[in-house]
Structure 1
Amino acid sequence: MPDEESIQPDGPTPPGVRAQILSTEHWSLLATRSLAWSESFSRASWFVTVVSATMVALALVAQSTDFGVGFQIFALLVIPLLVVIGVATVIRLVQLNGEDVELVIGMNRLRRGYLAIAPELEEYFITGHREDIAGIMRTYGTRRTRIPATQYVSSIALLVSVIVAVLVGALAGLVADTFGAGRTVAVIVGIAGGIAVLATVVLLIVRHARRTWDRN
């Protein structure tokens, strides 16, 4: 087995070899990013499917029990489970968003390596080759120099968070109604609980995103 000294290059690495090494790493990052996006979509789709199936089950139970005690017990058992699954899904989606930013930064760094080998090709690059926010945003397809609000609003994590907030609101209203708070009070409690949860989750998503951008 050759030792480390025997595999040391005799001189500078030829530009062609450097380009080949960079392109290999680039394809590796592309494959990793593709897997991350696939996991994001599959997790969100699976959660929505579980919620849809549970709503159908709740409707059937409500029809058979006329929204009686049986429906309340079933809902109080099932909805918390959906909330737990939803929170876990949001956490993973936020992690995947952070990983995607890091992968984009890595690909921008590799493009800068390409341009170091062939600087005359810069005019042909439509994606970014810098690691600041402007360069990252260019890779994401925009010319902005800061993170736009739509970056958060349109994220899968936030859309799933809205569903989780609705579930929490429904659970809070159901609990209030179970303890005899009255229909009006239950509705108010449910709306307030859903809004509070959504605001908290949005704040956490924004803070995590900013820490990811600042760290890189």
Structure 2
Amino acid sequence: MSFERSIGPSAEPAPTPGLVGTDVAGAGGVSAAMRLQILSTEHWSLLASRSLAWNESFSRAGMFLSTLSGAIVALALVAQASDFGEGFRLFGLVILPVVLLVGIGTVLRMGISNNHDALCVVGMNRIRAGYLELAPDLDRFFVMGTTDDERGVNLTMAMQARTSMLVHMLASTPLLVTVLNAILFGAIVALLVLQLGAGTTPALLLGTVGFVATLGAFMWYAGRDIARAMAEYHPKFPAPEPAEPADDA
């Protein structure tokens, strides 16, 4: 899931017990009204859990950006005082790794929140499938996915099929934080090379290598995590296969 929105999904009020009347008991002796109440309660619980995950992700991203902004301001002040000399390099080698550590923790936490968000979406899609089992004629009123396969999950997460996955990735906050982390690592490498006495050109080259390597490592880790999750997941309510056209006699 990408984090483009400014606020997380709001939680709906919890269903009040006893508002739904009794109905004919279905399988297992549980009435349709009781089934609806159970599904509604679980739906509300998933919405609340998803909202908390979104809020935490926004808080972590904001904390990282605030830390990065403060570090840049501090580096600017030290650069003016030391004329970009050894004091500036030493200060950068002290403060930038701290910011990078915060950034790495932010990306990892966002990945966990993404997995949690996808799990909540799967659960809510399954609940909608349960709603349709109770009232199949309400299918035309649902705008979110009612299947728990990849297509249904993407529909609920507003990931349109006609939009490239690359576009969704470029617009996501985790990728933004990842790029900033790679820039930080490249800057640390460049400052370290300068501090060891090398020239500007080697520092720029090695800093660029550090940036590319860090970005590639983060992308590889994220891709492996997504591939593993998709390989281990098996939908319970997939969309029916499209019927093949009948051959003309």
Q: TM above 0.5, one fold?
A: yes
> What letter matches 1:39 in structure 2?
E
Are residue 202 (structure 1) and residue 222 (structure 2) matched? Answer: no
Q: Where does 1:59-208 land on structure 2 (aligned, <5 Å)?
A: 59-144=76-161, 148-208=165-225
> What letter matches 1:80 in structure 2?
P
2:241 — aligned with what? Answer: none
> What letter matches 2:37 in structure 1?
Q
2:246 — aligned with what? Answer: none
Structure 2: 5+ residue stretches without partners: 1-24, 234-249
CA deviation string 1:161-214 (max 9, x = no partner): 011000001001111111122001101111111111011101211221222233
Are residue 33 (structure 1) and residue 26 (structure 2) matched? Answer: no
**Residue aligned with 1:180, SS:** coil
Name the CA shift for 1:66/1:52 in 2 (closer, same or farther; >3 Å). Answer: same
Query: Distance in 2 between the 1:179 and 1:147 partners?
Result: 44
Deviation at 1:97, TM superposition (A): 0.6
Farther off after superposition, 130-139 or 146-155: 146-155
**Residue aligned with 2:29, SS:** coil
2:67 — aligned with what? Answer: 50
Query: Distance in 2 between the 1:95 and 1:147 partners?
Result: 23
1:21 — aligned with what? Answer: 38
Farther off after superposition, 132-141 or 150-159: 150-159
Query: Distance in 2 between the 1:206 and 1:124 partners?
Result: 35
CA deviation string 1:54-85 (max 9, x = no partner): 10001001101111121111111111111111
CA deviation string 1:22-78 (max 9, x = no partner): 011001000100111111111001100000001000100110111112111111111
Residues 79, 167 of structure 1: 8 Å contact kept: yes
Residues 169, 189 of structure 1: 8 Å contact kept: yes
> What letter matches 2:135 in structure 1?
A
**Residue aligned with 1:127, SS:** coil
Query: Distance in 1 between the 2:116 and 2:230 partners?
Result: 11
Name the CA shift for 1:74/1:143 in 2 (closer, same or farther; >3 Å). Answer: closer
Structure 1: 5+ residue stretches without partners: 1-8
TM-score scaled by structure 2? 0.79
**Matched residue count:** 208
Name the CA shift for 1:76/1:203 in 2 (closer, same or farther; >3 Å). Answer: same
Query: Distance in 1 between the 2:178 and 2:203 partners?
Result: 22
> What letter matches 2:38 in structure 1?
I
**Residue aligned with 2:76, SS:** helix
Residues 40, 96 of structure 1: 8 Å contact kept: yes
Query: Distance in 2 between the 1:174 and 1:181 partners?
Result: 10
Write 1 or 2 for the structure with the bigger share of helix: 1
Query: Distance in 1 between the 2:227 and 2:168 partners?
Result: 12
Deviation at 1:149, TM superposition (A): 2.8
